[in-house]
Amino acid sequence: MSEGERTPNLYDYLAGAILANGFVWIWAQILPHLKGIPAILLAVISYIIYLTGSIATSYLVCKRTSSKHLFVGIKLAALTWVFSIFLMLSIAANPTYGLAVALLIIFVGGGVAGAYLALRSTLRPRREKSGASGSNLKNS
């Protein structure tokens, strides 16, 4: 491994998976207090929150790598999904295979999206912070 090459370690993956499931757990704690809102709307909001948590944690973990962003994002998504299955089994009254598959799809989508965003921000050229960027060239 060269000096400039970085890869996330096991602790980075575990922290990312736990953080993504933190979004899920907090939302699960809020849900019982949202009475009167249609169930379909709560389901859509739930999936958006799960996707947001997955994208955010994938982005943060993928920023710690210098290559293989997609592989890191998918690996993190799989670990996040495993943690969410344990969480689902402990919280849900009637866990279903459909919910497990939906969570897998959401977490993989979020992992890929977060990896893409991290790679995109890494490849974006840095802008100069000085106010007069062109005036320094004329004075030389």
Q: How many CB atoms lie within 10 A of CB 9?
A: 10
Measured CA to CA in angstroms, residue 107 lies from 64, 82, 86 at distances of: 19, 10, 15
Measured CA to CA, the distance from residue 45 to residue 27 in angstroms comes to 10
pLDDT of residue 93: 73
pLDDT of residue 35: 87
Q: What is the pTM of this model?
A: 0.78
pLDDT tens for the chain, residues 1 to 140: 445 778 888 898 899 999 998 888 888 889 888 888 898 998 899 899 999 999 999 999 988 888 888 898 899 999 999 998 888 787 777 778 888 898 899 999 999 999 999 888 888 777 766 555 555 554 54
